[in-house]
Structure 1
């Protein structure tokens, strides 16, 4: 249970942080899609560890092996199987916590649920699992290109340091020009300095990733329990370390009056559009054709290079010492993960919409 996501375009991931490999099975991808394997690898490189001084120094090349579902460069309509071998596991880094519960990790909850746990980097609960999602999301992105839909995420906040510009005021492509993935160069430099300072103090810090989805056709999403924003929220909250999700005006919307918040409809070049977009491109759980934008809040990474008090499996008080290779701030590497999960949701709902009409 809980290892699959999606309805028509459905993925199932498998593997652990320190196992032999990670992988994903993708079902429901239409036949005839030309697969650009180099583009998948590019997405994997954006997420992989060891990118810079502000990410974990674990060295994984995250090379992919497509095992099925693609023939002569095109999808066949059958399940696509992808494997991502692990090559730089250092399981001995975790032997000191084999029977200890690390604060704010899934150690205790996995043990409570299963009566056994893979303590090597958290096993299945590790953020390394998201590599499989990014591989699947890369294929979803290629399918979305067919429909003209684009997705761009970026880091908009680290700790208290936040971008003050709206996404429309910036060239979002510039996010890939610096190691923190913030599209504003000056703010990016400040963010890097802040994260590096936190790292040197053997601590961690959280942040926010903002995502913008453009050219989504109006009319995708399902009523009541499967609203588009609800599925996006589920997708984002399923990512490791995520503590919050808001779309459109979000929590700031409570400060406005209805007369300010309502998005008025107008006709533009023969299309029904809105003059403002406080709704974040979604009304009644269904897309209205405007930009879909949302924020995803990530907590500070739970592993810190400091001693912390905890208990072991026998309930005895113990000291947990921080060891291993970990991110001081997860948000720079979380950007492609957010994009991947957004792509999986949007492509799934586009395929569902096509099945709703003759």
Structure 2
């Protein structure tokens, strides 16, 4: 039913936005991994609502509870169950759309598929579910650290404002020093001002989250149908509000000729095969080549706006839908840890699969 992700490192999330709790079961995490709760909580704190005036004011502590799969600080190899209790639901905020379809939401499509839907915040379609993914991704990050692999994401665009500095020239340690999560301070302030203006106009705006994976060895990926970039694309496009994914040169690569776009090989002073450029984004033939894996993820404007909009109800009658409740004017600042989490899940799975590829 589309609630699970991954092959060997496999997660299944559960829960709804206005239910008692959300959570995730992780199956396939190797035993013996020293697993700390603090880094999991840190990632959840980065995603949680109410961080600043630029995000939804829903107040959720998002405290993680590890229910199983851990003993004496190490994973047992059995399923890890992580629980996050909901605390600040305001279901009455959604009573006015109990039978109406909100524009660009999943209300109608959920009704069309199941014949029944949870209108309270969208139920399972709510981005609240991504907290469970972030918790699972935090576990995957700790596993990747064991192999020297890191994942870092940041906001590179908000509406028409775009950071065009190559990631190699950015100080990514500055990403979490501002509420927008843009590592360039001057641009971060411009983005914050822009989001605040949009918020005051009772509207929303989209943006782009960029990411880089470092330390990934050559050989990860499962052609023909499990290409690494395809798995990353599926992971990113499965995040709420995502409208596009590109890796390496992406769509800009079509403006180049092959002689400009090809990544030429050489052997470095350590005897390692490298490429002089990285238009491929660290992936060739669906398999990692040992270079940085970098990509961008486009997020649409949040669909709930604090304005009246025309729609229809379940009976097909014309209605006016009024935006209410607590919602983000721009989702990308809180999407940064979600992008990192999904990338970490893909890489953890790919690393485990690679261990089965040959003697």
Partner residue in 2 for 1:353: 354
Q: For each residue in 1:16-39, what CA deviation from the matched residue of structure 2 results, as whole angstroms up to 9, or x when unmatched? A: 000000010000000000111001
SS in 2 for 1:224: coil
Partner residue in 2 for 1:4: 4
In structure 2, C-alpha distance between the alignment counterparts of 1:60 and 1:188, rounded to whole Å: 25
Partner residue in 2 for 1:287: 288
1:140-289 mapped onto 2 (5 Å cutoff): 140-268=140-268, 269-289=270-290
Deviation for aligned residue 1:326: 0.1
In structure 2, C-alpha distance between the alignment counterparts of 1:333 and 1:309, rounded to whole Å: 29
SS in 1 for 2:164: coil
Deviation for aligned residue 1:55: 0.3
In structure 1, C-alpha distance between the alignment counterparts of 2:217 and 2:194, rounded to whole Å: 39
Deviation for aligned residue 1:248: 0.1
Task: Give the TM-score, by structure 1 length.
Answer: 1.00
In structure 2, C-alpha distance between the alignment counterparts of 1:209 and 1:51, rounded to whole Å: 18
1:64-143 mapped onto 2 (5 Å cutoff): 64-143=64-143
- Runs of 4+ aligned structure 1 residues displaced above 6 Å come to none
Deviation for aligned residue 1:265: 0.3
SS in 2 for 1:134: helix
SS in 2 for 1:226: coil
In structure 1, C-alpha distance between the alignment counterparts of 2:193 and 2:164, rounded to whole Å: 18
In structure 2, C-alpha distance between the alignment counterparts of 1:323 and 1:222, rounded to whole Å: 45
Partner residue in 2 for 1:320: 321
Q: For each residue in 1:207-253, what CA deviation from the matched residue of structure 2 results, as whole angstroms up to 9, or x when unmatched? A: 00001000100001011111000000000000000000000000000
In structure 1, list runs of 5 or more residues that go unmatched: none
Deviation for aligned residue 1:88: 0.2
Partner residue in 2 for 1:48: 48
Partner residue in 1 for 2:23: 23
In structure 2, C-alpha distance between the alignment counterparts of 1:210 and 1:347, rounded to whole Å: 20
Query: What is the RMSD of the two structures over their aligned residues, measured on CA atoms?
Result: 0.4
Partner residue in 1 for 2:330: 329
Structure 1 residue 296 and structure 2 residue 297: aligned? yes
In structure 2, C-alpha distance between the alignment counterparts of 1:164 and 1:283, rounded to whole Å: 25
Partner residue in 1 for 2:345: 344
In structure 2, C-alpha distance between the alignment counterparts of 1:173 and 1:2, rounded to whole Å: 35
In structure 1, C-alpha distance between the alignment counterparts of 2:124 and 2:297, rounded to whole Å: 22
SS in 2 for 1:225: coil
Deviation for aligned residue 1:357: 1.7
Deviation for aligned residue 1:104: 0.1
SS in 1 for 2:22: strand
Q: For each residue in 1:325-356, what CA deviation from the matched residue of structure 2 results, as whole angstroms up to 9, or x when unmatched? A: 00000000000000000000001000000111
In structure 2, C-alpha distance between the alignment counterparts of 1:188 and 1:262, rounded to whole Å: 34
In structure 1, C-alpha distance between the alignment counterparts of 2:69 and 2:195, rounded to whole Å: 41
In structure 2, C-alpha distance between the alignment counterparts of 1:57 and 1:340, rounded to whole Å: 23
Deviation for aligned residue 1:49: 0.2
In structure 1, C-alpha distance between the alignment counterparts of 2:305 and 2:161, rounded to whole Å: 21
When the two structures are aligned, how many residues end up with a matched partner? 358
Task: Give the TM-score, by structure 2 length.
Answer: 0.99
